[in-house]
Amino acid sequence: MKELEELYKDIQPKIYSFFYVKTLDQNTAEDLTHDTFYEAMKGFNSFAGKSTIQTWLFSIANNLLKKYYRSKKYRKKLVETLSKEDKKTNSLEEELMIKERSGKLLEQINQLDSLSKEIVTYRIYGELSFKEIGELIGKSENYTRVAYHRAKLKLQKEMEGFHG
Same domain for 98 and 74, yes or no, is no
12 vs 5: which has the higher pLDDT: 12
Of 48, 72, 88, the one marking the end of a domain is 88
pTM over 0.85: no
Which pLDDT score, from 0 to 100, does residue 75 have? 65
Which pLDDT score, from 0 to 100, does residue 92 have? 61
Same domain for 95 and 81, yes or no, is no
Predicted confidence (pLDDT) at residue 105 exceeds the cutoff of 60: yes
Q: Rounded distance, CA 53 to CA 16, Å?
A: 16
Predicted confidence (pLDDT) at residue 27 exceeds the cutoff of 60: yes
Same domain for 82 and 109, yes or no, is no
Contact between residue 122 and residue 128 where contact means Cβ atoms under 8 Å apart: yes
Same domain for 31 and 105, yes or no, is no
Of 6, 69, 78, residue with least CA distance to 32: 69
**Which CATH number do you get for residue 152?**
1.10.10.10
pLDDT band at 83 (very low <50, low <70, confident <90, very high): low
Q: Residue 25 contacts by C-beta under 8 Å, 6 or more apart in sequence?
A: 77
97 vs 138: which has the higher pLDDT: 138
